[in-house]
Amino acid sequence: MTFTAKATAAASLVNGKDLLFFRVIIKNIARTIFYGFHISSMNWNSKITIRFTLPILCMVLAGCDWNLNRLFTAKSSKPDEVSGTNIYDSSEEIQINGNVPAVLTVPASGEHDLKKEALITNGMKKSDVLAVLGEPKGAMVAGNHTMLVYDGGHIELAGGLVTNLEIGIVTDIQIAQKKVSKQADNEAQQRTKGLVLFEGRWIPLGERDRLIALKQEQEDVERIRRATRKRECEQEERHKKEVLEKFYNSLVVCDVNGEPIDHSDLIAKGKITVVVFYLPWCDPWRQLSKPLEVLVKSNRDVILKKVDIGHWGSLASKKYNAKSVPDVRVFDRQGRIVGPPDSSISKIKKYIEDAKSRVY
């Protein structure tokens, strides 16, 4: 529903016709007198003619203006040809901004019914609302306040009476109710034809069963495809892990006889262990000792084990096949050596990072 505020025009055309007529006459007479002051140089006959002719002409023009206004007002007051409702006929004026009366206009579509709109007003009882709109779809109650919920809007009640009624809400509700009713009638008509609603379309029952079976078949195929892909991924992960395990286990340090050396008595379980074989008087060891201790302290998962081989040819040097000093070996959390023995601090850092990244 649309509302148009005709402020000055409505007042002049509907309530102030006489004032408009006399205002036009006075304006034209004043204009005549003004122009009369500029004809003093004419002869007497010309002055008499102009002074009598101009006022009469102005009155005639004013009368024409008045007739046009009456014609416009009469035409505007005719009932609407489509809706049959007088667009200027309203039982009460609506105030816009508190001081300018608004004129209610009704579209020619026929969807908005002014008479039904006027049936519900503020202060109306709940029973009267139900008589116009029917039973609501739901209701919310808070104290003495009730909200009747309809398709398209809601009606507020306070103490059983309508309050805070929004302009046009009744029409919106009625339009929504008509749409719902029309949709229900359409559904009933389609069902009488033996059709069923499936994914927004009305189709025969047999077609619906066929589409459901086809959809189920597609879902089964997709489920099998996902399960197959999952098994393939799991197999790839297992194969990758087996390859890495084989590679990790292939890295061993052997003794002079070619047998793998057992470092279990030097390895801390569940930790990354750095084992260093050294001689106290060895200058390379003195240069490496401090950076190595700093590196180990900066990693909580790393343990440092130092073995003093005493001298060349000792039992320790033979048992662990220490061919040079310092001899640094890094073991992962499962006790497997990460790489060949080395004494470079950069290489040791790389071994430690490699041990951290291993998946166990």
Q: pLDDT 10s per residue in the chain (360 long)?
A: 433 333 333 333 444 445 555 556 666 665 655 555 455 555 666 666 666 676 676 666 666 555 555 554 554 444 443 334 443 343 333 343 344 333 334 444 444 444 444 578 888 999 888 988 889 989 999 989 999 999 989 999 999 899 988 888 888 998 999 999 998 999 899 999 889 988 888 999 999 999 999 999 999 999 999 999 999 999 998 898 888 778 877 788 888 788 888 888 899 888 999 999 999 999 999 999 999 999 999 988 899 999 998 887 788 888 888 888 899 999 999 888 998 899 999 999 999 999 998 876
Total-model pTM:
0.39
Give the 3-state secondary structure of residue 340: coil
CATH number at residue 129: 3.30.1450
- Structural domain contains residue 267: no
Is 232 contained in some domain? yes
Three-state secondary structure call for residue 308: strand
98 and 19 inside one domain: yes
* Boundaries of domain holding 294: 272-357
Q: Can you give the pLDDT at residue 89?
A: 41
Q: Is residue 206 part of a domain?
A: yes
In a domain, 71, yes or no: yes
Q: Does 263 reside within a domain? A: no
If asked whether residues 129 and 189 sit together in one domain, one would say yes
Structure token pair of residue 154: 């809601």
Distance separating the N- and C-terminal Cα atoms of the chain: 73
Coil/strand/helix, residue 323: coil
Distance CA 242, CA 230 (A): 18
For residue 256, is it within any domain? no
Same domain (yes/no): 155, 227: no
- Same domain membership, residue 102 and residue 23: yes
Residue 101 near residue 93 (C-beta atoms within 8 A): yes
320: in domain: yes
Residues 121 and 145 both lie in one domain? yes
* Whether residues 14 and 72 fall in one domain: yes
CATH number at residue 291: 3.40.30.10
* Separation between Cα atoms, residue 205 and residue 198, nearest integer Å: 9
Residues 230 and 141 in one domain: no
Q: Which pLDDT score, from 0 to 100, does residue 324 have?
A: 87
351 three-class SS: helix
Task: Single out the residue in 169, 193, 217 at which a domain terminates.
Answer: 193
Q: Does residue 265 form part of some domain?
A: no
Same domain, 336 and 242: no
- Tell me what pLDDT residue 27 has: 62
Q: Are residues 163 and 205 in the same domain?
A: no
> Helix, strand, coil: what percent of the chain each, to 5?
50, 20, 35
Angle at 332 between CA 347 and CA 336, to 5 degrees: 100
If asked whether residues 61 and 130 sit together in one domain, one would say: no
Contacts of 89 (CB under 8 A, 6+ apart): 77
Q: How many domains does the chain have?
A: 4
Measured distance CA(67)–CA(24) in Å, rounded? 12
Six-digit token string for 77:
């007051």
